[in-house]
Structure 1
Amino acid sequence: MRILLSAIYPYAFLLLYLIIPFDNYIRALPNILLAILVVAFPFIVKREDFKKLKSLPVAIFLVLFGYLFIDSFSSGRLVEDFNIIKKVMIAVGLAILYIPVADAKKINSAIIFSSLAAIIFSVYNFVLITDAVGNFALGDSPQVVESLLIDRLYLGLLCTFSILISFQEIQKKYHPNNNYYLANILINAVFIVLIASKIAVVSLLVLVLIHQFYGKRKIWRILIALAAIMAVGVLFVVIKGEKDIGLNKTFKQGNSPTFIENSLTYELRAVVWQCAQNIVNDEGFTLTGIGFDITKDRLVSCYENQINDVNKKQRFIAERYNTHNQFIDFYLSAGIIALVLFLAFIATSFISIRKQFFPMALLAILLIYCMIENLFHRQIGAYYVGFILIVLITSARSGENNNIKTI
């Protein structure tokens, strides 16, 4: 029995990460795979496997989860906040469930194929929608927004993971697989540009900058670093200069299907962050926070008072937009203690993996996306934070992660 579970376990894990983007279409399967992993874990894990968890960053993240649970329970808001706390639990749970698996490269392959599958699916949808609409538009067009398999932000994140993994796998000497990795980098990079995922572009430029601190040829690396800094600066100026808080574009409604009309995008973070700032000012210093659900209620109240445009106000209220910043969300919802623990996790992770480019790059991606998104408000975000935790754990013991266990 144990041998059979040991054989199935790694591939159940890989299949989970392969199908994550298709969660809306096969919602039950990820939960089934998680259940298989949880049931099988006690039968295949060994005592020495738990040594992989003996790191300060992992310990701090576990403390963060424990604190969120205890804080919410003691404040009488566990029922309301459990949906968010559960996603933090998923992230740390995936990292723990992965410790019996010894080959970190297998999950990297799952990320690459998952990204390609999502791209193919999205392109196919785009062709169908463009044919139905009768015109061709890229970037922020409704055709692109509606055709994407998952939200553009998370699809850009997945593509960034895929590019980073492929770059890491390219060998210095000639190897046939290098061609496949280069092709994958090109496909994902072009796709990111076509769907106009600005945060993914910024992430890639930051990764280029970070990579200059690793390796030799420092003169060239300094020049590349300066170019990357300038590119990031220019991109931020462009993003900041966008004033389309309302509809990004106006489309003719004559031949457009209803689902296209309903897929118009909004630039909402300026409004959300201003409301979050107002709540911070009203609350002042908070040790334990006001709760994740109450934070959303307070934001909705702010939208009602601050937004003048009726249609926009109704949309913000209906969607109950969160803070779109993980740091602000932890502070408002669980107080300064949660924020300090999360920052401590990031700081200690940086110290422990600072000499390794791949985990350092993933940590940078986590930081960037936490600045503009609440990753723990979406299950897909929790899965990808779990992937980052897995890499941090396996990087600390890279010498032991060469093969998948069979017994």
Structure 2
Amino acid sequence: MRILLSAIYPYAFLLLYLIIPFDNYIRALPNILVAILVLAFPFVVKKEDFKKLKSLPLILFVGLLAYLCIDSFISGRLPEDFNIIKKVMIAAGLAILYIPVADVKKINRAIIFTSLAAIVFSVYNFVLITDATGNFALGDSPQVVESLLIDRLYLGLLSTFSILISFQEIKKKYHPNNNYYLVNIFVNLLFIVLINSKIAIICLLVLLALKQFYGQRKIWKIAIVLTTAAAIIGLFLLLKSEKGFQHNPREKHKNAPAFIENSLTYELRSIVWQCAQNIIEQKGFILTGLGFDKTKDELVTCYSNQLSDPTKRNRFVAERYNTHNQFLDFYLGAGFIALLIFLTFIFASFFINRKQFLPTALLAILIMYSMVENVFHRQIGAYYVGFILIVLITSGKSSENNTIKKV
């Protein structure tokens, strides 16, 4: 029985990460697979596997989970906050459940395959919608928004993961698989540009600059760093100057068609962040947090008071938009202590893995996405944070070309 479970266990993990983007279509299957992994775990785990748990990043992340549970329980808001705490639990749980699996490359392959599957699915939908409407448009067009398998932000995240993994798998010397990885990088990069996922583009530019600090240092690498830095700054200035991006929530904006309303995120985030700032100013220093559900209530009150446009106000109140920033969410929802633990987890992980490009790059991606999204408010976000944790605890010794060169 144990031999059979040991053979099936890694493929259950692989299947889980294959189907994550299709959660809306096969909602029960990911939960079934997680249940199978939990039940099989005691039978397949070995004593030496638990040595993998002696990882400071994992210990700090579990410490964050423990604090969130204790803080919510003592404050009497555990039932209200459990939906968010559960997502943090999923991320930590996936890392722990992965320790019997010997090869992290199984998940890497699953990430590549599922990214391609999501692209094919989205392109197929785009063709159908374009044929039905008779219009062709890319970027922020209604066709693109409606055809995507999952939210553009997470689809961009998945493609970024796929590009990063493929880049890491390319061998310096000729290898037949290099062609497949290069094609995958090209397909995902083209898809990111076509769907206009700006956060994914920024991530790729940052990773390009970051990579130049690994391996031998050459003069042309400095030019790449400076060029990518200029491109990132230029992109930020472009986003800031786009029509509709406003910092004052009281200012009136031209309403977009309801069909694509949710894709216009710059105005949304500016309003949400302004309200979060107002709450922080009103509450003062927050040590243990207001509660994640109470934070949304406070934001809704701010939307009701600050937005003068009744249509926009009603939409913000009805949608109960969250902070769209994981750092703000931890500070408001669970207080300074939770934010401090989360930041300590990130900085400690960076320090431990600073000589290895892949885990460092994944941490950079986590930071950038956490600045514009509450990654623990969506189950798909929890799964991908779990993937980052898995890489952090399974990263082996860095190779010559993947190590930052000492001066």
TM-score by length of 1: 0.94
Shift of 1:265: 3.5
User: Does the Cα contact within 8 Å between 2:355 and 2:398 map onto a contact in 1?
Assistant: no
One-letter code aligned to 1:196? N
Distance 2:136 2:398 in 1: 47
Say yes or no: does 1:33 pair with 2:33: yes
Say yes or no: does 1:105 pair with 2:91: no
Q: 1:264 to 1:237 in 2, by over 3 A?
A: closer
Shift of 1:48: 1.0
One-letter code aligned to 2:234? V
Distance 1:14 1:348 in 2: 28
Q: Which residue does 2:55 correspond to in 1?
A: 55
Distance 2:217 2:34 in 1: 45
Identity of aligned pairs, percent?
A: 73
Shift of 1:398: 7.8
User: Does the Cα contact within 8 Å between 1:299 and 1:322 map onto a contact in 2?
Assistant: yes
Shift of 1:272: 0.3
Distance 1:378 1:261 in 2: 21
Distance 2:275 2:392 in 1: 34
Shift of 1:261: 6.6
Q: Which residue does 1:229 correspond to in 2?
A: 229
Q: Which moved more, 1:309-318 or 1:189-198?
A: 309-318
Q: Which residue does 2:118 correspond to in 1?
A: 118
Q: Which residue does 2:167 correspond to in 1?
A: 167
- Cα deviation per residue 1:77-127 (whole Å; 9 max; x = unaligned)? 000000000000000000000000010111000000000000000000011
One-letter code aligned to 2:307? I
One-letter code aligned to 2:218? K
- Cα deviation per residue 1:176-204 (whole Å; 9 max; x = unaligned)? 10000000000000000000000000000
Q: Which residue does 1:287 correspond to in 2?
A: 287
Distance 2:335 2:256 in 1: 39
Larger RCO, structures 1/2 (Cα 8 Å, 6+ apart): 1
One-letter code aligned to 2:10? P
The 5-angstrom pairing of residues 366-385 of structure 1 reads: 366-385=366-385
Distance 1:355 1:191 in 2: 31
Q: Which residue does 2:307 correspond to in 1?
A: 307
User: Does the Cα contact within 8 Å between 1:276 and 1:299 map onto a contact in 2?
Assistant: yes
Shift of 1:218: 1.9
One-letter code aligned to 1:188? N
Q: Which residue does 1:181 correspond to in 2?
A: 181
One-letter code aligned to 1:379? Q
Q: 1:396 to 1:76 in 2, by over 3 A?
A: farther
Shift of 1:243: 3.2
**How many residues of Structure 1 are paired with residues of Structure 2 in the alignment?**
391
Distance 2:264 2:328 in 1: 23
User: Does the Cα contact within 8 Å between 1:269 and 1:324 map onto a contact in 2?
Assistant: yes
User: Does the Cα contact within 8 Å between 1:248 and 1:266 map onto a contact in 2?
Assistant: no
- Cα deviation per residue 1:302-347 (whole Å; 9 max; x = unaligned)? 1111111222111111111100000010000101000000000001
One-letter code aligned to 1:283? K
Distance 1:82 1:385 in 2: 18
The 5-angstrom pairing of residues 168-247 of structure 1 reads: 168-245=168-245, 246=253
Q: Provide the aligned C-alpha RMSD in A.
A: 1.5
Distance 1:201 1:76 in 2: 42
Shift of 1:53: 1.1
TM-score by length of 2: 0.94
One-letter code aligned to 2:135? N
Distance 1:367 1:293 in 2: 23
Q: 1:57 to 1:262 in 2, by over 3 A?
A: closer
One-letter code aligned to 1:118? A
Q: 1:183 to 1:249 in 2, by over 3 A?
A: farther
Distance 1:379 1:303 in 2: 26
Q: 1:261 to 1:91 in 2, by over 3 A?
A: closer
Structure 2 unaligned segments of length 5 or more: list them. 246-252, 400-407
One-letter code aligned to 1:317? V
Q: 1:318 to 1:249 in 2, by over 3 A?
A: closer
